[in-house]
Amino acid sequence: MNKNDSAYFIEFAEHGDERGNLVVVEGERDVPFAIQRVFYIYGSDTDMVRGQHANRKSQFVLINVAGQSKVKVMDGLGNEAVFCLNRPRTGVYIPTMAWKEMYDFSPDAVLLCLASEHYDESEYIRDFDAFEAEIAAMHKGGAQ
């Protein structure tokens, strides 16, 4: 799988049998990066908005392994997409330099996040105006 500049759904193979379901996510096979970090979010109120940041280096895949939530992804150029995550075998890929917001968490939501990088706060952009300015500068400079 290749890195993509846009967010997109990923459907994972299901290896279930009469004993139950099993979903496998392998780095560089089922997601387009080597997985360096795993974290998960649960217990967020329905009216809580999480994320609200972009990452200069990290790519992510988000999977609601339980319950559901929505993920809004914005490219800083005026385009946005909303992904509804409501199945343990469906994820959303989020590229670098994408503004993301997670919200509408169901009470039972467990949002699993796979990341391409170890945690480094300095690669997070947490101000939307600063994010838009960096995107504008990238395009002005001819960066992809």
**Binding residues for ligand TYD, per CB under 6 A?**
37, 39, 41, 50-51, 53, 119
Q: Considering the complex, what minimum distance in angstroms separates the CB of residue 56 from ligand TYD?
A: 14
Q: Shortest Cβ contact with ligand TYD: which residue?
A: 50
Strand, coil or helix: what is 95?
Answer: coil
Catalytic residue among 15, 53, 118, 139: 53
Residue 9 or 119: the one with the smaller Cβ distance to ligand TYD is 119
Q: Is 107 helix (H, G, I), strand (E, B) or coil?
A: coil
Nearer to ligand TYD, 9 or 39 (CB): 39
Sheet bearing 8-11, strands edge to edge: 8-11, 90-94, 60-66, 110-115, 37-42
Active site residue 118: no
Q: Which residues contact 74 (CB under 8 A, 6 or more apart)?
A: 80, 98, 99, 100
Q: Give the shortest CB-45-to-ligand TYD separation in angstroms.
A: 13
User: Smallest distance, Å, CB 53 to ligand TYD?
Assistant: 6
Compare residues 116 and 135 and give the one whose CB is closer to ligand TYD: 116
Question: Are 59 and 36 contacting, i.e. CB atoms less than 8 angstroms apart?
Answer: no
**Which residue type does 36 have?**
Q
Q: Which amino acid is at 14?
A: E
Please list the active-site residues.
53
